[in-house]
Structures are given as structure tokens and as C-alpha cells.
Structure 1
Amino acid sequence: MRVRIQEKWSYTFSRHNYSKRSYALWFFIINLLAVVILQWGINDEHAVLNSWGFVGNIFRGKYAAINEFLLVGVVYFILLMLINRFWLTSGIFFALCIVITVAERFKMASRAETILPADMNFISGGNAGNLLEWMPSDAFQIILGAVILVIVWTAFMMVMGHRDTRGGVVRLKNVWTRTFSRIASAAVAIAILVSFVLSMSSIGGWSHGLITFFGDSPKLWDSKIDAQNNGTAIGFARLLNPKIMDKPQTYSETTMKKLAAKYSKRAQETNVTRTTQATDSTVIYLLSESFSDPSRVPGLKLNKDVIPRIRTIKENTTSGYMLSSGYGGGTANLEYMALTGMSMVNFAPSLSSPYQQLVPNASWTPTLNQLWKSEDSLAFHPYLSNMYSRNVNYKKFGFSKFYTLDKPYVIQPQNTLGTSKYVDDQATYTAVLNSLKKDKNGQSYFYQVATMQNHMPYKNWYPNNDIEATSTNGQELGKSEKQSIETYAKGAQYTDTYTKAFLDSLDKLNRPITVVFYGDHLPGAYKTAAKDENNSVALHETDYFIWSNKASNISNEAAKKAATNSAYTSPNFFQAQLFEHMNAKVSPFIEFLDELHARVPAMEPAVVNKIQGWARIPEGQALYLNNQGKYIDVTHADAQTRQLLEDYKLIQYDVTAGKHYLKNLDFMDIAQ
């Protein structure tokens, strides 16, 4: 009996030479498990099911997991070539994946977002100790489970390694040939990895074409959703190296000094006739989620006017239509342009979302609110703080407090309408009013406010909805589209009522206040209208106005008459229009924006942004509109207009991708 047991034991642990096919099979299995374990870290609900489901989607015609498998597999292969021991490498590789997963899990629990490249800068900047804030309440259990898994996996790899007599993955008798083969293979794989990462965000790049072929669909408004849909490694890699801008041929320190001097002189000339300082007033940038006039949608008719109050406000103050780069999504891009004065037109196609791809790693991002003191810059958004990485970006912008649904600054109240899950506009306005009323000294503030009430989807939220939508072009609206449009239109009607009441309340305050109100994009509810390419411009035009209360001593009617080119605009010009409306002194940068806006009232990039999709069109042309909403062919514009557009590229390149020469030239500052 003892002999039989010994024979059985010896047979079980007998050693043999693994073939290349065996290695390939194990490579496939281990790499697949690595993909699953990495997905586990970013799935905060039904983690096991959703992690395996990500891979299982392949059998349902969704192939994004292949991209993740390839990217993770290249890293695995590089380690194999460097170490040349299959089971040792596999043990180390999988253990690293587990460590990454635990870190992802912790960050997801604390901030509901994945690990971003910007976090690497955070750690390298000496802030590693602050990572403790990522630790959730169940951190011990997660760490214990991870340690047990690593131990079990390591033991299994040791057993497999003991059974394997092959030795190295690369087996060549000559040590120099073997070493060269390994290094060369690793070098080629590293080159492929680097090339993959560098080109995956560049439209036209080989890896971008590859991942798009396998169904990659960036969800850049939320790193968690992007990783859940496209893969943890893919989501991280796409943010590593987007091309920001092409360097202008004339860019140099000398060029930027001359440019700064030119607009500084013109700003001085403008300021002779300007009588106020913008920072003596409270300014409220009010981004109204998806707000636009439904009656302007081609082929659509509603049974009533849902925005009569805002229509009246627009008739009596600086107002018009804003050309939006988004349709159904892209909020943060409009917000970025409004706050910075930079345009998406000038960015490379690979840069689809500055809030995710640019700002977190930027060393300098000048924004309008920085003209006010940091403690006087406040932001309100009745949703999650990590949406579009606002929690990181707003700190860079200089906002001292950011009120959201998350701690530490929790927005109140949080009322909703009907069955909608989103905080309504009345509650958001109340939060801003309460903040203003807390200060009894009449201090001037800058408020960045982004609402959520009219965010997609539109699922028949409002009881007794009396809005009816019909088609006027013979194409009957589908049941789902009709319901979505009517739900959205009812929400717009509520916004109309609440906005008028908000302005009335501001009018009663004894402090100067000016509001820049704009819809960021149209809702993605107009499926029938969106099918017609002739409707493209109409579906990218939202409503905006600039309004001042009585205490500001600004006549809105007079400002409207004096406004130049206000009928059409884009958010990058809001700063210039705001200062014109207030008759406020300008910085050289705002002077530049004012001059450009006079010649090119509105601009938007070649971009498709449908229903929260993100895909730039490299061969498309940017759209420029005149004050009648007609297309401008800037290639045939006069010399002064072309020079202004070239100056814009120089300014934006210096601020976002260049050497920041303008930072020390007072280009963003207003002379007192």
C-alpha cells in the first residue's frame, strides 16, 4: 500500500518538459484571468459577475475585451522576456495585477473613479501619504483576501515551476544568443507598447484603428464607466499621451513677447472707455444642463411654448445662440471653453476631453475665476464630484469650495421632480442664493454652477405632463422618441420658471450681480432630426444670455443694443462678452478674445458628440459662423482675421502645451 501511495505521489508531481504550445495555452489562460481581476477592481457592484461578463461580452458581439487582452498581454510578454522564467514571471505578473486591483478598489470606494495618470503625478509629488484617504472601511478584509489570493497563486506557480524542467522560455544553447534574443524581443514588445499607447488616442493612428475595430467606445465623462465598458488598462492608457496641439511654426519666446505687447497696448486703449472692474461684482456662470429651445428643432412642433420667460429675458438683454461642440453630451468641454477662453477648434483631434486628458496634468491653467480671490471662487454641481474629474480640476482652477452630492461640501437642498433622480434646478438655485445670503458684507464672488435637472435619459419623469410633441415633416415620431422629447420639454419648462424666479431673487439683493446663462448642448432625444445631416448646425445651437441685477447699475437693454456680434457666439467668447456687457476693464487676453469675436462670432471643432460619445473627425473642417449664423470660410478671410486666428493658436499652444511665456507677461491680468 505504501509503495502504491509513493508511486501515485511521484506520478502526480512528476517533472516534464513543457512545450511551447503548453506555454501559449497557459499564457492565454493567465492573461485572461489578469483581465478579469483588473476589471474586478473597477466594478463596484456585482464585481465578480460584471468582471467575467466583460470578457463574456465577446460571445454577444461586443469585442472590447480583446483590446484589453492585447494590451495586458504585451506587458505580460515583456516581463516574460526580461525574466525568462514562465512560472516565476506569471506569479509576479498576476500578483501585480492583484495589487493594482486593490488600489483601484480603494479609489473606487473613496472617489468613485479609477486610477488616473494624474494620480502618478500626485504620488511622485510627495503626496503618497495622502493615499490613506483612499482606504475604505472594509480595507482590512480586501487586503486580507488579496494576500490570501497572492499566497495561493504563488504556491500554485511554485508547484507548476517545480514540475517544469524546461528552464527558460527562450532556450538557446549559446548564452549570448539567448540573451540577445530575449532583449531584442522585449525591446520590440516595448516599442509596440509605446507605439500603441502613443497612437491609441490619435485618430488615424494604427492602434486607434485597431481598438476602434474591436469596439472601443470612449466614455470620457466618467473614468469608471469608461473602464467598465472598454477595459481598465485601455481606460488608463488612453489618458497617458493625447496630442494636445500642433506647434505653430512661429512659436518662440520672442513671438509671444511681441504678441503680449500688442494686445496689452490695445487693452490699455480699450480700458480708457471702460468704467468698471468685473471683480467688484459677483459673477455667476450658470451652465444649464441640456437647455435649449425645443421649438427650434427642425421637423418638430410642441403644443405650447415651454420657455416663454427665458425668451422674454433674452429679448431684453445681451443674448443669442451659442454654437456647441456637443450633442447629447460633452458638458465639460463647453465648461472648459467658457472658463478658460480656449477653443476646442485649436486642439488636435486626439484631445477629446480637456478635463480628462489635459487639465489634470497641466502645470498652468488660467481661468476667469482666478481674477477673483480663491476663497471667493465657489462651484456648485448637484451630482458626483468626480464627474469629468471636476474634483481634481476645480482645485487647479482655484475654486476654494465645490458643493456636490459628496463630502466635504454637500449641496443642499437636494429636491427632485416627479420620479427623476436628478436634483432639480430650483434646489440648485436655492443653494446658490443661500450661499450669497450668508455673506452680509456684500463681498464679490465668482460662482461656477452646473445644473443636472435636464440630464439624460428622459423617462417620463413628470406626472400629468401636458406637453405634446408632433412631427411636421411627415416622419412620425416613434413612441420612445416622443416620450423622451415630451419629458425633456417639460423639464425645460420647469427650468424656464425656476430661472426667472432665480433672477427675480437676485434682483432683490443689494449687491451687483451678473449672470452668464447658457445651455451646454441639446439633449440627445431628437433621433429623427439627427438623421438628417442638414440639421447638424441647428442641433448644435443652444440658448444663452448675460443679465445683470438692479444693484449692478447696468442697463440690460442698453447692453443689448451696444453688444457687438451677440446673435451667435461660442463659449470661449463668454469672457469678452461678459466684460463688454459690464463695461469692465479687460486683460490683454480678453482684449484679444473681443477682437476675434468681432470677426468670427462663433466656432466649433469637427466633432461628433452624440449621446455621450467621443469621436473627433480628423478630416472634417471646423465650423465658423458669422453674426447671421452663416458659414464663414476662414481660408478666404481677410488678413486681419487670419492673423487673429493664428494668434489664437499661439496663445492656446503657449498656455496648454508650450513653455508658458505668457504667464510672466501679465497677459491674463487686468491693470488696476
Structure 2
Amino acid sequence: MFSSLKQKQELQLGSLFVVLTIICFLGTASQLLTHLQEATFPFILWWILKTFVSTTVLWVPIAIGANQHQKQFNRQITVLALWIVGAITFTWAKFTTQPVTTTAQPSPELYVVQQVFITWFICSGFYLFAYPLQKICHRWSTVTRRHWLIGFSFIFLLINLISGYDAFGFHRGTSLIWFIYLFALGDWLANDRQWLKKWSNIRYFFLTVISLLFAALITWLNMNHVNYSPHNDLTPNTHYLLGINPYQPFLLFTCLIMTAWLLRGQEGNHGDQLFSIMGILLLNLLGLPMLFTPLLLPQTSWQTIIILGITITVIFSAIMILINFLGNKINWQLNYWDLLQKLKHFSKHYWPVLLTYLILWGITLASFAILWNGEFTMIEWMLTERPKIITVNVLIGFAIALILMSITNRWWLSSGLTVILYLAWLSASVLKIAARNEPIIPTDISTLMAPGEMLGMVNKWIIAFTLVTVAIALAASWQAEKCYGKNCRFNPATRIIIAALSCAYLFSFNFANHSNSIIYKQLQNIDDTPYFYSQLRGAKMNGTLLQFANNIDVHVMSKPTGYSPTTMARLENHYMKVGAEINQNRTHNSVGNQNLVFVLSESYADPAKIPGMKISGNPIPYLHQLKKQTTSGLMLSSGYGGGTANMEYQALTSLSMANFSPTLPTPYSQLVPYQKRTFTINNLFNYSIGIHPFTANLYNRKTVYKKFGFNKFYHFDGGDKLTYTSKIHNSPRVSDDSAYKEVTLNLKRHPHGKFIQLATMQNHMPYEPTYYAKNNYHVSGKGFNTPKQKAQIETYIQGIHYTDQALKDWIHQLDELKQPTTVVWYGDHLPGIYHGLPMGKYGTQLHETDYFIYSNAAARKLNHNRLTWQHQLVGPNNFAAMALAQMDVKVSPYYALMTEIAEKVPATSLPTNGTAKNNSAHQGGIDFVNAQGKHVKLTAKQKKLFHDYQLVQYDLTAGHHYLLKNSFLKQIAK
């Protein structure tokens, strides 16, 4: 029936492509249905589909490059028409290389075709212009191209496998450079068939199977669903790892082996042309679902389309011109075999070095498994999505091994000691996490000064087992050194160089939090986030070694000019006199039986103040009414969308975040636990209580509240048990109404004259539309870009409406109390849900929250209805002094200074042109904002007063504590 075996082969190959095309088309066409239905394809089918699509996306550019018979443009009109349609669709769909989301969580199905459309678009162009491109490639000999491409590919694969870096600008498999590279590989394979025939079919078969298994395994790992809760169910994160990533090395290797295997027997025929034609048609079908993306993405302006088209044309032309120039002017030669021999020589003599690196890598991966409690999806996430973080941890240990090697010139001994130290480090980290829910950080090094006390907390059998293990490991290292160590020696010059480089690498972490340093920028590039507010989470995300290194570069505060015992004694005398003047107009010598309540209302800020956004109604009428009747105004927050504990710290201590070093973004975690003594407003009262209806592990609150001298702390992690924990509808947070009832209950208890610190939770992110039975408020205008963001804002507004109702009831309850009670109530920061508003333009408005200071009926009667500041912009560090003024309480020298700061210095904050940086170091700097919301500079008198403030803050936190005594902090000035 068939004229030749060749026709049979081509028909079989074509039939195979048709079958695979039908399968792939049915799978990708089902995407739109999965948006409407809950059911999805079984896991195994998605795995097979994603592996097939990934391989196809990689293979088609190679096949086009391998087609050497395109001078006469077959199917030119058809492909050109497809290209025009593709160009229009591509620009219309904006950037279709990004995954499309239509719900709160990403769609795993749409990841399947993430790169298909852009591959189809570019490969259509390659097919049209393959002949001139191949002419450019053929300016170099086949042998030269072989050496360069093999060497280039080896380096790419090695870099990607070891660290996951985006080498050579390939940009995850979507850049033009990547496609040119694949095209060049195909062209070389088609012209080097005699070299390809050196391997037998059996060898090709086994290489293909092994490579395909690894590629499928990686694709399977990358498509898994990762779900973890970084804040103890506060903000659950869900990730669908990429299952269509042609940047994966084993996928590339699979495609190259399969193409080489097919081409080695096709010399003299046109089978390779069939590959490229069928590949283009296959990509057309794979790309069909992307035709629907304009329905799911925001519309793109014609200006953007024109600019995009011009940019692509210019870049493509420039690359072609550059390649043509280099091909004519430069003689590219690479002694590939000589390089290979050098690699073999290095491996033969220094394989113990490579073995040590692999051992350290394995121990590091095992440490992540321990930190994540063996959760497979989280381990694979670290392995596939955060390999750079793993590499940094390994390099820290490897640098220690190199330093020991430079000293001893005995690699087995050096590596053995390093492995022992690393395992001991991990064991100590696990023990500390079990005891204190925190990994080892630099401040723990001081415990080494008391080894007996530390070892006394460890089981004796563990100590004995550790000593035996260390002895065995040292003996094994010494024996290996005698047997295999002679060939692994470094000359003196090499030892000096590796010691210098290793020490420089480790020493560079001293600048890890300096925003202008190279190490800081590199750590940012690999997504290192220290999470200072939760050191355990930082260890889980970054590894124990890197998290330790993140905490090395922590500097509390720069020493102000003039700091000395004499200067501080002068300041104490001066503010003793200032306090005496203030106290002439105050009645009470102490707080006595008065109560003071600080209420940090989570993420509370009037949404009506958001620039350009309109609300259908007033969700907080009671707050607006209350603010007209008492001390009130706006608070200048130091954060946006985060940094709660920082506002709490400033309110309690009266110290400003703006005065601290940028390397100290979270005092609760980085400073307070290590201070010998602290001073806060609650120290003036007979009894103090902390209330936080959530976990107390975040921000180290358990330790902090104990250090601050709180007598009780009500929370969900043991300790004192909360009485009121009701929630609103489907919201996962304890309601503000319950939180206020908890405060009232404790106010009624003895003794009186107490301080209560409440941090609410009701309005904390996220803001799911399903939280409340009905959202009665709707927004329009600016502040959101998508329907999802709009829904989040409306849910948030409904939440603060419930807060307003609860506040009204609570104030009524307070007025019925016989105990004089004053309340400082403030929002800590705006929620991070207002998108599309540039922080550089609206920074001040996006950092202004509401506050008021209210005295109940008993307190108003006792203090003669005293009010302080009305409708002013203040900082959280001003609240304690303002509260004492409203309570008519005389002040100590310390609060005399704070009263002067509150009255005479504009509101102080970190720069408001950025967002909260409590996860990592920030740029630093100080903003001063007046009552009109304008940034101002201090006058000469204000500068002197603020310098006094900085001197006192430095002395109490980082200095010699000359003023850390009751005569300055607590005793009234006379």
C-alpha cells in the first residue's frame, strides 16, 4: 500500500502527533469549565498532561531549527496568517505569559498553557525566517557550534540545578534569548548527524528513559498544591507550583536526546520538516485557550499595544544585527575537550570537596524537613522554588570547611569537623525551638559563657550519645584522611585565597541589613525575608544558618552626638525643672485608683479618607460623633498594611521607631527580650493586664509582656484564658465586641488603678467576601483595580461598621463604671488593600489612622472634664503623655520630656513614602508631619528638643542606662 518505508514512518509519526494533539486539546479546552465547576481532572491526568505540554513547548523551537529544507517557504501563507492572528491575540491579551486568576486562588489548570501562546507566536516567526537565521548560524563551523553549545548548555544546567538562578537572561523560558538558544541547538543537531551516530540506539533509549523520568518527577513536584499558614491561620497562603516550566534542565535534556535520536537516522530525507510543521500545528491547538484570556484580563490601551510591538521589533532587530556582526568579525573558538580534561582532572583529585558539598546540601534539606515537620509539599516547595536559599545555607557551612582546610590542609578532617559542627548546630536549634519556639540567633551566643547551666537543661543520655557520635565521626574522618587525603591538598597560595574569600563571604553578613550593601541586595534577589517578628517562620523559610546570619547585622541605634554621663545628668536636671513647671497645673501625684486602657484597634482607619474613593454611606457614624466630643484626631502610623507591634511598642514606651537603626525593624523581637530592664506606661500602675484574642507567638509577645511587667496576659496559647471569644457570622476572628467585654470584665475586678493593653483582631486581614452575611457598603472610584480587590474593601468596611457598633455599646458600659477610666483608642495602620494609589503621592494619607482619648463619667468628674489636644495629628509615641495630661496626673522628668515632644514637635514617623518593613531592614530616615498633613522641617528649638529625645532613647535602649532609674522615670518632678 505504501511506496516506501519512509512514508510509513512519516504516517506513523503524524498519527502519533494527531493523537497527542487531540488529548492535549481536550485537556486544555476543559480549563474554562473548571472555572465554573468544582471538579477537576484527576491528579495523574494533570501530571501527564503538564509533562507533555512542557516537553512540546521546549521541543518545537528545536524542531524548527533542525528543519534544513525551508528555503522554499512551504505553507507560508497559512503560517503568516496564523502569525498575524497570534500577534493580535497576544497584544489583546496583554501579557499572557503570566498565569490568569479569576478567583481568590490561582487556577492550576491555567498554568498548563502559561508559556504555550508565546511559544506559538515566536515559533511561527522562526518558521517563517528560519532560512536567514540558519545562514547566520552557519557562519561558524559545525564543530565550533558543537563545542560552544555543549559548554554553554552544561554551564546552564549546572547553575540551574545547583542554585536555581536565572542564567543568561532566559527568564523562566519566555525570553527571546531562550528561543534563539533552542533554535540554535536544533540547527546544530541537524548538521552534526555523524557525531550523533557515535552512540548506539540502546544508549539513546536508556538516556531518554532516565531523563524523561527525572523530567516527569520534577514536573510532578512542581504541580503540587502547597498550602501553609505562616501566621497560625492568620493569613493562609496557597500556591500552585508551575507545572509548565520549560526552564527545567531535565526537560531540556530529554528534548535534546529525543531529537538527536530521531535525527541520526533521518539524513537525506525531509522528516525533520514534518517535525516543525506538526509542531506548529500542535502549538496552535495548545494555544487556543489563550484566545479567551482577554475575557479574564484587564483591557489594554492601544498605546501599550503600539509600544509593545515597537519594542519587540527593535529588540529582535538589534539581536540579529549583533549576531551578524559577531559572526563576521570575531573568530569564536573553544577548546571543549581541553576543558573537559581539566574538569576530569579536578574531579579525580578533588572529589572529596564535591562530596562534602553534597553532604552539606543533604543535611540542609533534611533540616528543612525537620523545620516543616516532614510536610512533603513544603519540602518540595523549598527544593523547587527556593533552591537559592538552600544554596546560601550550604555555602555558609562550606565556607567554614574551606577555612578549616586553609588552616589544616587536611580536607577529610576539615569536612568531618564541619559536618559535626553543622549537625550539632541543628540539634541545638531543634532543642531551642522545642523549648522556646525560636531558633538560635546571635544573642544566644552569650549563653556559651555558662556552659554548665546550658548543658544542665539537656538530657544526659543525649549528651552521652552526642559525645560518642562526635568521637566516631572524628575517627572516621582521620581514617579517611590517611587513606584518601594525600591527593586532596592545596598549595599555600590557594589556601590563602580560599581563606580570604571564605572569610569575606561570612563577614559580608555583617552588612546583611544595610540597604545599600551588595550582600543585602543579593539576599533580596533570592527572596530572603528575615521575618524578624517571627524568628521561627524565618528559620522555616530561610534555614537556620541564614536566619542566624540575618540577625547578625542588628544595630539598635546610632549614638547621638554629645552622649556622655555629664550630658545625661544635665538632661535629668533640666527635665526635672520642666516637669515641676508642668506639675503646677496638675492635681494628682500619681495615677492612684484611676484606670487607663490602651486599645490598639487592628487595621482601623476611616476609609472615607482614601483619596478618590467613594463609599455608599457612613459605616462609622458613632466614631465621628465621639471624636467631636473628646480628645481626638489622626495618628501618623509608621507602617502600611503591617507593623502592628511597632505601634504598640511606641505607645507603651513613648519611644519612636524613627530613632532606631534601620536594622532594627521590630523591637519586640530584636530588642526587648534582651534588655535587662524596660520602662513602659503600665509601670506607673498597681496592676497591668494584656489582652490579645489570638496567638501570642507572633512578635514574641509572651516574653515582651513579661519583660514589661504585665501581671496577666490573656491569649490563646496557654496562660490566662479569655472569657469572651464570640465571632461575627463566618469571620474567623474574635469580634471587637467580645474584646471590649473582656476589658470591662477585668476593669471590674480588683485591684483598681490598673492598666490594660488590648490589641484587637476582628479587622485583621484577609477580608473574604464570605465573612459576613451581607455587605451593606459599596465603593467606587480609586483604591482598587479588580473586582476581587473591591470586594475585599467592602468586606473590610462592613467589619469596621461592626466595630463602630461595638464601640458605642462599650463606651456606654464604661460610663456606668464607678472607677475613673480613661481610654486611648487608636488604629495601628491602614489595611494593605488599597491598590493603585502611589505611595509617593499619597503616602501621608495612607499612614493616617483615627484615634481618641476618652474619659468616662467618673474620670471626667474627678479630673474636672479635662481635655488636651483637639483634632491634632500625633504619633503613637505621644499617647502616654497625652493620657497623663487628660488624667490630670503629675509627671516625672521622663514624661515631662515626652509632654514637651507631644506639644512642640510635629508627628514623627518613619518615611511615609514606603510600606511597612517589619519583615526586614528598611531605608531609615525620619518624617515630620504637621497638623495639616504637610511634611515640615524642624526649627532650631525643635531640633534641640528632639536631640534631647534621641539622647534619652539611646540611653534607655542601647547606651549605658544613666537614666534607667526611678528618679527619672517614675518619681514626680518637684
Scaled to the shorter chain, the TM-score interval is 0.7 to 0.9
CA contact (8 A) 1:36 1:52 kept: no
Give the counterpart of 1:465 among 774, 778, 793.
Answer: 774
Change (3 A) 1:659 1:569: same
Specify which structure has the higher proportion of helix: 2
Q: Which moved more, 1:351-360 or 1:209-218?
A: 209-218
Change (3 A) 1:86 1:151: same
CA contact (8 A) 1:87 1:161 kept: yes
Change (3 A) 1:270 1:207: same
Per-residue deviation at 1:610?
4.6
Q: Which letter does structure 1 place at the counterpart of 2:355?
A: W
Alignment partner, residue 364 of structure 1: 677
Alignment partner, residue 93 of structure 1: 418
Change (3 A) 1:186 1:579: same
Structure-2 separation of matches of 1:431 and 1:83:
64
Change (3 A) 1:213 1:372: same
Q: Would you say 1:165 and 2:471 are equivalent positions?
A: no
Alignment partner, residue 594 of structure 1: 899
Change (3 A) 1:106 1:454: farther
Alignment partner, residue 546 of structure 1: 853
Alignment partner, residue 7 of structure 1: none
Per-residue deviation at 1:105?
3.6
Q: Which letter does structure 1 place at the counterpart of 2:769?
A: N
Identity of aligned residues (%): 33
Per-residue deviation at 1:299?
1.9
Change (3 A) 1:426 1:125: farther
1:503-542 equivalences in 2 (<5 Å): 503-529=811-837, 531=838, 533-542=840-849
Structure-1 separation of matches of 2:794 and 2:455:
47
1:661-672 equivalences in 2 (<5 Å): 661-664=962-965, 666-671=967-972
Per-residue deviation at 1:403?
1.5
Alignment partner, residue 189 of structure 1: 502
Q: Would you say 1:617 and 2:617 are equivalent positions?
A: no
Per-residue deviation at 1:303?
1.6
CA contact (8 A) 2:682 2:755 kept: yes
Alignment partner, residue 283 of structure 2: none
SS at match of 2:540: helix
Give the counterpart of 1:305 among 618, 621, 624.
Answer: 618
Q: Would you say 1:478 and 2:478 are equivalent positions?
A: no
Change (3 A) 1:626 1:17: closer
Per-residue deviation at 1:108?
4.0
Alignment partner, residue 384 of structure 2: 56
Q: Which letter does structure 1 place at the counterpart of 2:895?
A: I
Per-residue deviation at 1:396?
1.5
Change (3 A) 1:148 1:347: closer
Change (3 A) 1:125 1:653: farther
Give the counterpart of 1:341 among 654, 659, 678.
Answer: 654
Change (3 A) 1:157 1:26: farther
Change (3 A) 1:168 1:521: farther
Structure-2 separation of matches of 1:599 and 1:498:
35
Q: Which letter does structure 1 place at the counterpart of 2:615?
A: L
1:109-508 equivalences in 2 (<5 Å): 109=434, 111-121=436-446, 128=453, 154=473, 161=480, 164-167=483-486, 170-171=489-490, 186=499, 189-190=502-503, 192-193=505-506, 195-276=507-588, 277-373=590-686, 376-439=687-750, 442-473=751-782, 477-508=785-816
Q: Which letter does structure 2 place at the counterpart of 1:263?
A: Y
SS at match of 2:706: helix
Alignment partner, residue 3 of structure 1: none
Structure-2 separation of matches of 1:391 and 1:79:
40
Per-residue deviation at 1:324?
0.3
Q: Which letter does structure 2 place at the counterpart of 1:571?
A: P
Larger RCO: 1 or 2 (CA < 8 Å, sep 6+): 1
Change (3 A) 1:29 1:307: same
Alignment partner, residue 24 of structure 1: 353
SS at match of 2:810: helix
The number of residues matched between the two structures is: 626
TM-score with structure 1 setting the length: 0.84
Per-residue deviation at 1:583?
1.6
CA contact (8 A) 2:863 2:888 kept: no
Q: Which moved more, 1:430-439 or 1:306-315?
A: 430-439
SS at match of 2:614: strand
Change (3 A) 1:611 1:586: closer
Structure-1 separation of matches of 2:639 and 2:839:
17
CA contact (8 A) 1:37 1:98 kept: no
Map Cα deviations across residues 490-519 of structure 1 (whole Å, 9 max, x no partner).
111121122222222222222111111111
SS at match of 1:603: strand
Change (3 A) 1:130 1:157: closer
CA contact (8 A) 2:784 2:790 kept: no
SS at match of 1:527: coil
CA contact (8 A) 1:77 1:189 kept: yes
Q: Which moved more, 1:316-325 or 1:459-468?
A: 459-468
SS at match of 2:365: helix
TM-score with structure 2 setting the length: 0.59
Structure-2 separation of matches of 1:670 and 1:18:
73
Per-residue deviation at 1:368?
1.2
SS at match of 1:428: helix
Q: Which moved more, 1:578-587 or 1:273-282?
A: 273-282
Per-residue deviation at 1:626?
1.5
- Say which one has the larger Rg: 2
Q: Which letter does structure 2 place at the counterpart of 1:485?
A: I
Alignment partner, residue 641 of structure 1: 942
CA contact (8 A) 1:333 1:355 kept: yes
Q: Which moved more, 1:286-295 or 1:658-667?
A: 658-667
CA contact (8 A) 2:636 2:909 kept: yes
Map Cα deviations across residues 590-621 of structure 1 (whole Å, 9 max, x no partner).
11122122222311112633596545124xx5
SS at match of 1:278: coil
CA contact (8 A) 1:345 1:605 kept: yes
Q: Which moved more, 1:198-207 or 1:641-650?
A: 198-207
Structure-2 separation of matches of 1:157 and 1:416:
60
Q: Which residues of structure 2 form unaligned runs of 5+?
A: 1-344
Q: Which residues of structure 1 form unaligned runs of 5+?
A: 1-15
CA contact (8 A) 1:199 1:207 kept: yes
Superposition CA RMSD, Å: 3.4
Q: Which letter does structure 1 place at the counterpart of 2:937?
A: D
Structure-1 separation of matches of 2:966 and 2:452:
31
Q: Which letter does structure 2 place at the counterpart of 1:545?
A: F
